[in-house]
Structure 1
């Protein structure tokens, strides 16, 4: 990880690194240039659960609220972020051609997505939850695929299973089926989008090959 003495610092991560932990406070505001940040939360059993994935263009950090955060943020390897405080936020936003309205819209969209996922977690079977989660991630976090497909996201199957609320084995079985159907592809670290229309159909519960939910 590299730092500078400037009040606006660029951070580059060669390995997975915790940025702040649940309950931390401070002035830090982060902007993701490249890579991804896992948003996590300690559950009632003391385990660290994954509740979101932020990608390039995302703003986050305790400095946005001025309160102790109830989440943990972990930068994935290969990520590049800028960190500043509320006093220098406008400078960073000008550098990135961002506006305050755009920042507010991003935060509102993020809240809406979490509400949708919570509703589906309560009401929908795992294949529909998983398809909606992937569609959402590709739509808002997807990057040009380095494997020759439409888009990809840097997320392991275990991390995806944690976000979707399913077991690693069940999610792996479903992804294998969708890979066979030509909807997605995957490697150890990435999930790639092949057919956006088909994924949308799965998310809308029009067609899917169900496996036993966990």
Structure 2
């Protein structure tokens, strides 16, 4: 119950201490991607009941949390760390759907099991999750309306995120998607110094490629093209946006 006592202290917070923002491809004009805290709105009895039917599991960086095509048995509420959710195509190419952090859950869209996972989840860093079996979740939401509301709100947030991703993939060029991603990263964690925005590089070119639906070689060439146009500077540990207005108009 030690971990339960920690999470009970989160009830008044919108985002758990240390939580990050979910990262997914979206248009800049859309509402930001702050993680909804799954525990927000639950009282101590709700949390105790949730923990009673669940177990806490730790994952090392790079370890699979669940795999596409495997039997679905429930969801995973992220307690700490970051989980990458991705789809593996028939050719073996990966498309990153989102990076989720503390306060959100992964393992959807199914909730109650009795099916297969539609995509995969992998720990991007050391992570702990609350493994909630589908049968236990079904029984709880029939009895606890606050838990049902938390689940609906989290599903609504995910639906909006994936709708935005589909729209971006279907209506924007790859260059536009990369420019949008750089601007999103700047918005979420960039350091503005004068007219410049410094983005510390936490994603490799391979990871950028999986987010925008491209190849690493294309990412490398397009970053170089942006650099030649005077839009960005590229260093091993950072990307610096030099001309935000022109980058927004990149095609």
Gaps of 5+ in 2: 1-50, 192-196
In structure 1, what is the equivalent of residue 176 of structure 2?
128
1:130 deviates by 0.9
**Mapped partners of 2:86, 2:206: distance in 1:** 14
Is the counterpart of residue 10 in structure 1 residue 61 in structure 2?
A: no
Q: Report the equivalent of 1:79.
A: 127
What is the deviation of 1:84?
1.3
Instruction: Indicate the residue corresponding to 2:219 in structure 1.
Output: 171
- Aligned mates of 2:190, 2:126 — CA distance in 1: 15
- 1:53 maps to 2:104: no
Residue of structure 2 equivalent to 1:102: 153
Point out the structure with max Rg over C-alpha.
2
2:165 matched residue in structure 1? 114
How many Å apart are 1:151 and its aligned residue? 7.0
| Match status 1:40 vs 2:86 | yes
Distance 2:198 2:243 in 1: 12
Residue aligned with 1:31, SS: strand
Contact 2:69/2:119 (CA < 8 Å) preserved in 1? yes
Q: CA deviation at 1:6?
A: 6.0
TM-score, normalised via structure 2 length? 0.56
CA distance change for structure 1 residues 33 and 153 in 2, over 3 Å: closer, same or farther? farther
Could you state the TM-score of these two structures normalised by the residue count of structure 1?
0.64
Specify whether residues 182 and 135 from structure 1 end up closer, same or farther in structure 2 by C-alpha distance, changes over 3 A only: closer
Question: Would you say how many aligned residue pairs link Structure 1 and Structure 2?
Answer: 185
Cross-structure match for 2:111: 64
Structure 1 residues 16 and 181: CA distance shift in structure 2, 3 A: same
Describe the shift of the 1:48–1:61 C-alpha distance in structure 2 as closer, same or farther (beyond 3 A). Answer: same
Deviation at 1:29, TM superposition (A): 0.8
2:18 maps to which residue? none
* Mean Cα deviation higher: 8-17 or 68-77: 8-17
Unpaired runs of 5+ residues, structure 1, are: none
Q: RMSD in angstroms over aligned alpha carbons? A: 4.0
